Amino acid sequence: MSEESSKPNGLFIALAFVTAFVSIFSAVLMTEPGQSLNLPRDWVFGYHSNKWLFIILNLGLLAALWFMHIKYRIWGKIWMSLASLGVIFCIISANFLLPAFFPSYQYGANYVSVQEADQLLEDDSIIYAVEINGDVKGYPRKHLEIPHIAGANIGGKDVVMTFCGLSNLPVVYDQDIGLGKSDLGILIQVHNNLVMVDRESGELIQQITGKVESSGKKLPAFANDMMTWKVFKRLYPNATVFIYEFNRPLDTLLLALFEGPMEKQFSEEYGAIFPTLDLKDNRLPNKEQVWGLDLGNEQAAFTRSFMGGNPVYQFELGGKKLVIAHDKENDIVTVFDRTVDGVGIEVTEVDRNGNTPQGMLQKVPLQNGVFWMIWAHWFPETKVFS
């Protein structure tokens, strides 16, 4: 028998195929192509829970391939080098690429004065104002698109602004997720919404629901108000503003890469960027931006047309007596708990801060500007006020 015929070519090719499949599948699953293929959310979370096993498996398969190569010389060094580079690239893509592209700033976020921010922002720029105990910070939408996460102590509370560009959704959460000190970063998006990972505990949090995946605990949320920069700087001249410096060459590339897809995400002419939404609820146009209210056991969505005709509207949801108000002058929509001293009151007038003739009302967090198609996917039983 010749030396060539004694080589286990079939076994080597099979091992190379398995190595390539595991590597490529991991990379696709944990990056945007996986969502383009509508791969299940549970697969993503399952991979994350066992990522080190997958990394070890990838490297083990590659080591076995090298062992057979050294022993039998089936492939040349160039092919083996290319295969090795491919496996390493897939491991990096599956586990480290998105955090490197989108650096979060729960700690070390950059805040500047309104005067400094005014040199960088246009009057019609959208900004989200967070006010806690009289302290105010602003978060321009454009400056949240790359980091997605910016932390701060506001009014004595350690909070973190989270933002999902695909959902067009800002949500402010308590930094305490119930597991000690947290450090939230980007994992991936599923169903067109951001999934965050606590790099301290490894726990996953779905941004739109605010739930810790392992326990189902819902994180405490804080209100933010959506407005233009022109309005913000007039209302809050002494506030500080989060500014992302766009100081990496990679930032220019990312903005260029995502400009086209994000224009389509906001355009009514196209569907969602990732085909992972149910899109069965036609009560509203898919791309309509709504104000969403999530009380855990019940949800509601309010349209701009509804708020235009109902500048002050009383309702009940989730066992709570509430009032939603539209400040037409500043185009700010807010929701308040209309319970004072344990008693529900009738409210016919309320300002954006919750002041009424009967007393001060407590603000309830709204999810400002979220696309209907995404809100309806995550909360299919939502009520609609349109």
Q: Let me know whether 42 and 146 are in one domain.
A: no
Q: Are residues 241 and 138 in contact, defined by beta-carbon separation less than 8 angstroms?
A: yes
Q: Let me know whether 140 and 66 are in one domain.
A: no
The answer to whether position 187 is within a domain reads yes
The answer to whether position 217 is within a domain reads yes
Q: From residue 20, give the alpha-carbon distance in Å to each of 5, 62, 76, 80, 112.
A: 25, 9, 17, 12, 48
The answer to whether position 18 is within a domain reads yes
Q: Let me know whether 135 and 262 are in one domain.
A: yes
pLDDT of amino acid 341 = 86
Q: Are residues 152 and 175 in contact, defined by beta-carbon separation less than 8 angstroms?
A: no
- Number of domains observed in the structure of the chain: 3
**Domain boundary residue among 47, 69, 95?**
95
The answer to whether position 102 is within a domain reads no
Q: Let me know whether 125 and 225 are in one domain.
A: yes
**Domain boundary residue among 95, 122, 145?**
95
The answer to whether position 216 is within a domain reads yes
pLDDT tens-digit profile, the chain (386 residues): 444 555 688 899 999 999 999 999 999 999 999 999 999 999 999 999 999 999 999 999 999 999 999 998 888 889 999 999 999 999 999 999 999 999 999 999 999 999 999 999 999 999 999 999 999 999 999 999 999 999 999 999 999 999 999 999 999 999 999 888 899 999 999 999 999 999 999 999 999 999 999 888 999 999 999 999 999 999 999 999 999 999 999 999 999 998 999 999 999 999 999 999 999 999 999 999 999 999 989 999 999 999 999 999 999 999 999 999 999 999 999 999 999 888 899 999 999 999 999 889 999 999 999 999 999 999 999 999 99
The answer to whether position 103 is within a domain reads no
The answer to whether position 57 is within a domain reads yes
Q: Let me know whether 19 and 148 are in one domain.
A: no
**Domain boundary residue among 232, 266, 300?**
266
- Domain limits for position 331: 289-385
Q: Let me know whether 193 and 259 are in one domain.
A: yes
Q: Whole-number mean pLDDT of the chain? A: 95
Q: From residue 87, give the alpha-carbon distance in Å to each of 21, 62, 82, 83.
A: 10, 8, 9, 6
pLDDT of amino acid 180 = 81
Q: Let me know whether 258 and 307 are in one domain.
A: no
The answer to whether position 215 is within a domain reads yes
Kindly state the tokens that stand for 159: 């909070």
pTM (two decimals): 0.93
pLDDT of amino acid 354 = 95
Q: Let me know whether 358 and 252 are in one domain.
A: no
pLDDT of amino acid 268 = 92
CATH number at residue 339: 2.102.10
Q: Let me know whether 313 and 219 are in one domain.
A: no
Q: Would you give the distance in Å from CA 259 to the centre of its chain? A: 17
pLDDT of amino acid 178 = 85
Cα atoms in the Cβ-side hemisphere of radius 13 Å centred on 242: 35
Q: Let me know whether 13 and 57 are in one domain.
A: yes
Q: Let me know whether 160 and 77 are in one domain.
A: no
Q: Let me know whether 198 and 230 are in one domain.
A: yes
Q: pLDDT (tens digit, 9 = 90+) per residue, 306-321?
A: 999 999 999 999 999 9
> Which of 144, 130, 119, 111 is closest to 240 using CA atoms?
111
